[in-house]
Structure formats: C-alpha cells, structure tokens
C-alpha cells in the first residue's frame, strides 16, 4: 500500500486494521491531545465522527466542502491556542457522490500549518488516472499527511482498512492506536486478495479496461437518467444518487426496482438530511452496458408508475 501511494522518499509506512471503521476509530485519539484541534467536514462518515468522539482534541466543524468556512474554523482553532490542527475530510462523500475540493483544502491547510487527513474509502482503487484515489484526482497525493481507506470496497470487497502516511505517524499508531493494539489483525486470505486487487489496479493492462468500463457505465447511467428527467446528485463519480425527497417514495421505488431485478437502496433520514431521501445507485466495472441499460429502463418504468417522471 505504501508503494501504491508512492514512496520515493522512503518515509511512507502503512498500518493495517480489521476495517476502515477501526482505522478511523484509532487515528485521532492516538495522534491528538486536548491541546490540539480537529476540524471536521459536516458530512464526514460516521466512523470519523466516532473517532473524533474518542479523542480529547477541541472540535470544530465546517460546512460540507466549504473551504471559506474551513479557513474560518482554522482561525478559531488558532485563536483557541490549539497546537496541532488536523483537518479531516472524506475524499468522496458517499451519500452524494461528491468529490471533496482537495486542492483548495490543501492550500488552506498549508496556509495554517495544519495537518490533512483524508478518508478515501469511496475513491481508492478507481478514482484518479491510475486509481490512487482523490489525492491523485486533484494531483495532491504528496500534500495529504494521512489517508485512511478500506480494502472492502473497490479493492476486493471483503474487509480490512489502513492508515498510510509518514512512518513516524504510523509508528505512533502502531504503539498507541487501540483498535490495532487490542484486536486481531486481518485474515491472511483477505490480505492476499487485497494484494491481488492492488496488483490489478497497479498494472495498466488490467487497470485500463476496468476503469474504462466503470466510467463508461457511469456516463451511460447518468446521461440516460438525466435525459429521462430524473434529478441526480454528484459528479465525476460512480455513486449516482437519484434524488426523490420523500422517504416513503424512496423505499417504495427501491422495492419496485428490486421486483424487476435491480438491487438499489433507498436512503432517508437520519442517514441523509430530512426531505432529501434518495436512491443511491452504485455503478461497478463488473456491470455490462446491457445491465446498465436494463437498470435505466427499470428506473424509467417505475418512475412513470410513481409519477416521478412523465
């Protein structure tokens, strides 16, 4: 994993956890004290929220993806006399399919001499030219101090998580991170499968057709659904939420789609804000274009049945 992110200086190291949830539970408490600050995006994943709860650092929150608000919160942390200021963001926000503006975030982080933490669970293995994630998408891999991610999504879909960053930070985690110290590590079979998945992503001959298929599928779904009149959220990502608003409508639509062989999940409050219920569609490189077309046809049929589109 260290090599995958680039280790030209030889100072990168990586620590494995049983899951990314554990990596997020272990990272903040280990590295930050009550004299420090954690400045967290309002839409960060639940495991980051729990990790922050376990840590004694002062807490600041900025509006989702809002770099101006982030700067304001960094100023507040500075005024409060916090020593280390760690900014924490998802690379991709999983309920919206929205990519965090990491380039602008890096600029602000560096201006305030802060530390940047990115949870890249929804980007590792496929986002960026060679699948190295949100850091590669924005060309800022070397400006991110810590990346946590999962082996359980694009890299094989089993389980496992990790933190990668400077070896001194990783060494501190090895010595103090509770989910690492007090829990069993990954099963060797899972590690073997994840290594094989990384090899597939690392090799242009296997990576290119997979990424072409993924982004071709995502474009087909997005284009046809938009043309049919559905409201979609997100951009440049394979998570494509179909926005419906009403919670009952979202679950009714998901049920009707399942009856037509399309397995999608309706999300409503408290997983997403009130009146922002949606069906989160996740497009995969394992889908064929025919399957994507079948899914869109089913959406159109059910959308008409429920008067979502005309």
- Which range binds ligand PLP by CB under 6 A, 14-22, 103-111, 180-188, 244-252? 14-22
What distance in Å separates the CA atoms of residue 89 and residue 72, rounded to the nearest whole number? Answer: 16
Indicate the angle between helix axes 67-79 and 102-111, nearest 10 degrees.
20
Is residue 152 part of the contact set for ligand PLP (CB under 6 A)? Answer: yes
When the beta carbons of 71 and 96 are compared against ligand PLP, the nearer one is 96
Query: To 10 degrees, the CA torsion angle through 147, 150, 151, 157?
Result: -150
Is residue 51 part of the contact set for ligand PLP (CB under 6 A)? Answer: no
Choosing from 40, 94, 177, 268, which is the catalytic residue?
94
Is residue 193 part of the contact set for ligand PLP (CB under 6 A)? Answer: no
Binding-site string for ligand PLP from residue 161 to residue 180, where x marks contact by CB under 6 A and - marks none:
x-------------------
Is-catalytic flag, 30?
A: no
CA distance to 96, 108, 143, 161, per residue, from 266 (Å): 13, 36, 36, 26
Is-catalytic flag, 45?
A: no
As given in the structure block, the two tokens for residue 37 are 């600050």
When the beta carbons of 45 and 237 are compared against ligand PLP, the nearer one is 45
Count of residues making up the chain: 310
- Which range binds ligand PLP by CB under 6 A, 72-80, 116-124, 128-136, 268-276? 116-124
When the beta carbons of 161 and 303 are compared against ligand PLP, the nearer one is 161
Is residue 280 part of the contact set for ligand PLP (CB under 6 A)? Answer: no
Is-catalytic flag, 122?
A: yes
Residues 23-42 that bind ligand PLP (CB under 6 A): 24
When the beta carbons of 24 and 217 are compared against ligand PLP, the nearer one is 24
When the beta carbons of 28 and 299 are compared against ligand PLP, the nearer one is 28
Binding-site string for ligand PLP from residue 74 to residue 93, where x marks contact by CB under 6 A and - marks none:
----------------x---
Task: Just list the catalytic residues.
Answer: 94, 122, 153
Query: Would you tell me which residues interact with ligand PLP (CB under 6 A)?
Result: 19-21, 24, 45, 47, 90, 94, 119, 121-122, 150, 152, 161
């Amino acid at each position: 994993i260290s090599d995958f992110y680039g280790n030209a200086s030889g100072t990168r190291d990586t620590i494995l956890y049983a899951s990314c949830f554990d990596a997020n539970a272990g990272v903040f408490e280990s590295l930050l004290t009550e004299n420090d600050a954690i400045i967290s995006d309002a839409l960060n994943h639940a495991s980051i929220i729990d990790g922050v709860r376990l840590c004694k650092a002062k807490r600041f929150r900025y509006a989702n993806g809002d770099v101006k608000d982030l700067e304001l919160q960094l100023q507040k942390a500075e005024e409060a006399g916090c020593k280390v200021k760690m900014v924490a963001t998802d690379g991709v926000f999983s309920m919206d399919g929205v990519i965090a503006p990491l380039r602008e975030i890096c600029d602000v982080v560096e201006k305030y001499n802060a530390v940047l933490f990115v949870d890249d669970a929804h980007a590792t293995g496929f986002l960026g030219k060679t699948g190295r994630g949100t850091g590669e998408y924005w060309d800022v891999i070397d400006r991110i101090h810590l990346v946590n991610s999962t082996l359980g999504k694009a890299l094989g879909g089993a389980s496992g998580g990790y933190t990668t960053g400077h070896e001194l930070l990783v060494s501190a985690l090895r010595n103090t991170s509770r989910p690492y110290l007090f829990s069993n590590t990954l099963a060797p079979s899972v590690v073997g499968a994840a290594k094989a998945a990384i090899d597939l992503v690392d090799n242009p001959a296997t990576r290119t057709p997979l990424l072409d298929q993924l982004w071709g599928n995502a474009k087909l779904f997005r284009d046809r659904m938009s043309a049919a009149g559905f409201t979609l959220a997100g951009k440049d990502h394979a998570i494509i939420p179909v926005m419906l608003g009403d919670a009952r409508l979202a679950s009714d639509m998901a049920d009707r789609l399942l009856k037509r062989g399309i397995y999608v999940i309706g999300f409503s409050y408290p997983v997403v804000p009130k009146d922002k219920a949606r069906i989160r569609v996740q497009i995969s490189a394992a889908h064929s274009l025919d399957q994507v077309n079948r899914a869109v046809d089913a959406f159109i049929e059910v959308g008409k049945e429920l008067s979502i589109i005309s």
